[in-house]
């Protein structure tokens, strides 16, 4: 399946000791051309823990073009991962372009 820039996906993230994994939401930040030809995706973590928000963008359901969030969440521009498309459980939304642009700006601040 092809995923798009700005999609919110549910994935299984393994614990660092590989003993188990936990479902987590992520935002696809890699561009559509990369996503089309690669088996991987570049993603940013999404959390409902709003304590550390220095490099985060807060989102709510109204910030999505489609889909729904159960809780106010933060997209963590400082938590980027390259993950295989094969571990995606499902897509459950897509952020508005304004939010995606804010995330990209935060990522650029880090670099």
Q: Give the chain's mean pLDDT.
A: 92
In a domain, 1, yes or no: no
Structure tokens, 62: 């109204």
Asked if residue 72 belongs to a domain, the reply is yes
Count up the domains in the chain and report the number. Answer: 1
Up-side HSE of residue 81: CA atoms within 13 Å toward CB?
Answer: 19
The residue segments making up the domain with residue 13 are 7-110
CA atoms within 13 Å, Cβ hemisphere of 78 = 8
The answer to whether residue 43 is domain-embedded is yes
pLDDT tens readout for residues 57-76:
999 999 999 999 999 999 99
In a domain, 23, yes or no: yes
Q: What is the CATH number of the domain that holds 58?
A: 2.30.30.110
| CB distance 29 to 5 below 8 Å | yes
In a domain, 90, yes or no: yes
Closest-CA residue to 95 (of 62, 64, 54, 73): 64
Spatial CA neighbour of 74 closest among 95, 57, 99: 57
Is the residue at 82 inside a domain?
Answer: yes
| pTM value > 0.85 | yes
Instruction: Examine residue 71 and state whether it is found in any structural domain, yes or no.
Output: yes
Residue 88 lies in a domain: yes
The pLDDT tens digits for 17-58 are 778 778 999 999 999 999 999 999 999 999 999 987 889 999
Q: Which of 12-16, 22-26, 83-87 has the lowest mean pLDDT?
A: 12-16
């Amino acid at each position: 399946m092809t995923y798009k820039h700005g999609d919110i996906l549910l994935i299984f993230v393994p614990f660092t000791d590989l003993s188990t994994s936990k479902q987590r939401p992520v935002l696809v930040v890699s561009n559509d051309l990369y996503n089309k030809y690669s088996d991987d995706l570049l993603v940013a973590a999404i959390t409902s823990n709003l304590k550390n928000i220095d490099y985060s963008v807060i989102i709510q359901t109204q910030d999505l073009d489609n889909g729904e969030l159960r809780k106010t969440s933060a997209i963590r521009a400082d938590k980027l991962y390259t993950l295989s498309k094969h571990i995606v459980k499902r897509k459950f939304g897509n952020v508005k372009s304004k939010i995606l642009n804010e995330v990209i700006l935060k990522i650029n601040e880090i670099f």
